Amino acid sequence: MPAKRTITIVGGGVIGLTTAYALIQAGHDVTLIEREDNVGLQASFGNGGQLSYRYVRPLADAGVPLDAVSWMFRAGSPISLKLRPDWHQWRWLLDFLAACNARTNQKNASILLKLALRSQKTLHQWQQDGLDGFLWRQPGKLVVYRNAAKFKKAAKAVINPQQEQVLTPQECARIEPAFASLAPRLAGGIFSPDDEVADCHLFCQSLLTALQSHPSFRLLRGEARLEGGENDRCRITIDGVKHETDVIVLAAGLASRALAKPLDIALPLYGLKGYSLTVQADDAVLPTVSVTDYDNRVVYARLGNRLRLAAMVDIGALDASINPERIEHLKRLAAETLPAAGPYTSAATWAGMRPATPTGVPIIAPTQWKNLLLNVGHGALGFTLSVGSALTIRDLVEGMHT
C-alpha cells in the first residue's frame, strides 16, 4: 500500500478536479487551491462538450502551415494569428512548425490516444461508482469533410474501421439527419460510434460535490505562489501564507506558466483562444450525434436541451475577452449549417484561453523539484484527457520519494 501523503493541487479546472478525485480515491489527503469564486470557470466552462476519445490528432500536422496562411486572408477563418513582439510566442510558433509533419503528428496522436482511452475506461468506472449529473451521453461523433483532399487524407489515416467508420455524404445524412441538408456540400465523413458528450462545467461541479463528501479533502480559495526552497523542494504560499504539504501538483491551465517561472521552469504553454455558443432549442431539431465540421473547425454537441457550438483558434490573443466579429461569424455559420436550432441571436456566448503545448501533447511529469509535479498543456482536449491525466499523476505520486 503506497504511503498516504498530503497533496496540494493548484487549479480548480477539469484537470485539477479530476486529479484531486483520483488522489482522494487512492487514499491521500488533498487540498485544492482555486483563485476564482468557483471551480471550472476558465477554459473548462464553455468548451465544446465532446469527449473525442478516438479523434485526438494534434493541431500540428503536415499541411497546417499552408492552410493557416490561406486562412489568414479569409474573413472568419478557423485560425487567426496576431504576431506580437513576444519571444515566447515566436518560440512556441517555431516549435509548432517543427511538429507540423506526418511522422511527428502520428507519434503524438498515438500518445494522446493511449491517454484518451484510459480516460474513457476510468470515467465509466467513476460513473458506475456514482459520479453523475453532467449530461453524459454516448451518441458517437461524426466528423464531416467538405474538402475532398482532406477527407481522403483522413480516411487513409483510419486504422480500425469499426471504431472509425468512413462514410459517404449520404451515409453521413443517415447517421445524423439534422445535418442532411449539408450532404450535397460534403466529400464524406468519419463516424466514431463510441465517442461521447457531456457538459464539462457540470462535470467539474459533480467532481467537487463528490470530493466535498470526503473528510480528507478541502477546497481553499486564494492566490497560490511557488518559490524555491531547500533540499530541492519548492514551497507554496496561499495569499502570502506558507502552506505545508508533501506534494504539489501544478494544474492551473495557462496560469501555470507564470506560477512555474520563479522555479526556473519555462513551460512551453500558449493560450489558444476558442469561442462557443450555447442555445436552447426544441428536441425535434437538435442533433443526437455530436458533429464536427472539419473544414470550418466547428463542433456541434447536444447537451440536454441545449446545443453547444465551439469553434476557432485565435493565436496571439492577450486575454479571454470576446471578439464580437468572431462570435458573429460563428452565429452566421451556425445559421447556415443548422438553421432549425436557432435563432442564434439569443445564444449565450463564451471565450476561453486553452493552454496548449506546440506538439499538442500535455506535460504530465515530475520536475527538478522533488515535490512538484506538472499536469498542464491539454489545449482543446482537456475534458477528453482529464481522467487519464489524473491517473498518470496518481501513478507518479505513488512512485515519489519525497
Kindly list the averaged pLDDT for each block of 10 residues, start to end, along the chain of length 402: 88 98 98 95 93 89 80 76 93 96 94 97 98 97 95 90 94 96 96 96 98 97 96 97 97 98 97 96 92 94 96 92 94 93 93 97 98 97 97 95 64
Identify the pLDDT of residue 151: 96
- For 378, other C-beta atoms within 10 Å of its C-beta total 30
Secondary structure (3-state) at 87: helix
Question: Residue ranges per domain, the chain?
Answer: 6-140+194-398
Q: What is the CA radius of gyration of the chain?
A: 21
Predicted local distance difference test score (pLDDT) of residue 365: 98
Mapping DSSP to helix (H, G, I), strand (E, B) and coil, where does residue 43 land? Answer: coil
Q: Distance between CA atoms of 397 and 246, rounded to whole angstroms?
A: 10
Please tell me whether residue 20 adopts helix, strand or coil conformation. Answer: helix
What is the fold of 6-140+194-398?
FAD/NAD(P)-binding domain (3.50.50)
Question: Cell 470530493 maps to which residue?
Answer: 211
Q: What is the structure's pLDDT at 62?
A: 87
Q: How far is CA 159 from CA 152, 192, 277, in A?
A: 14, 12, 33
Q: In sequence order, which residues have a C-beta less than 8 Å from that of residue 59 and are 6 or more positions away? A: 96, 313, 356, 360, 379, 380
Integer Cα distance of 60 and 55 in angstroms: 14
Phi-psi region of 379 (alpha: psi -120 to 50; beta: other; left: phi over 0): left
H or E element, residue 153: helix 148-156
Bond into 343 cis (ω within 30): yes
Instruction: Provide the pLDDT for residue 401.
Output: 72
The pLDDT of residue 402 is 57
* Residue-level pLDDT at 75: 66
* 313, three cell numbers: 483558434
Return the residue matching grid coordinates 439569443. Answer: 346
Burial of 266 (0-12, 13-18, 19+ CB in 10 A): exposed
Cell of 386: 482529464
CA-to-CA separations, 131 to 122, 128, 156, 295, 393, in angstroms, rounded: 11, 7, 38, 35, 20
* Cell numbers that stand for 123 in this block: 470515467
- Give the Cα separation of 303 and 261 in Å (integer): 38
To the nearest 10 degrees (0 to 180), the angle between helices 382-398 and 14-25 is: 40
pLDDT of 54: 86
pLDDT of residue 1: 53
Cell of 286: 437538435
Beta bridge partners of 363: 376
First-to-last alpha carbon distance for the chain, in angstroms, is 16
Distance, in Å, from the CA atom of 371 to the CA atom of 368, rounded to the nearest integer, reads 9
CB 63 within 8 A of CB 152: no
In sequence order, the 6+-apart residues with CB closer than 8 A to the CB of 197 are: 49, 50, 51, 135, 136, 137, 139, 290, 301, 302, 303
Question: In DSSP terms, which residues pair with 242 in a beta bridge?
Answer: 237
Burial 145-178 (b: 16+ CB within 10 A, else e): bbeeebbeebbeeeeeeeebbbbebeebbebbeb
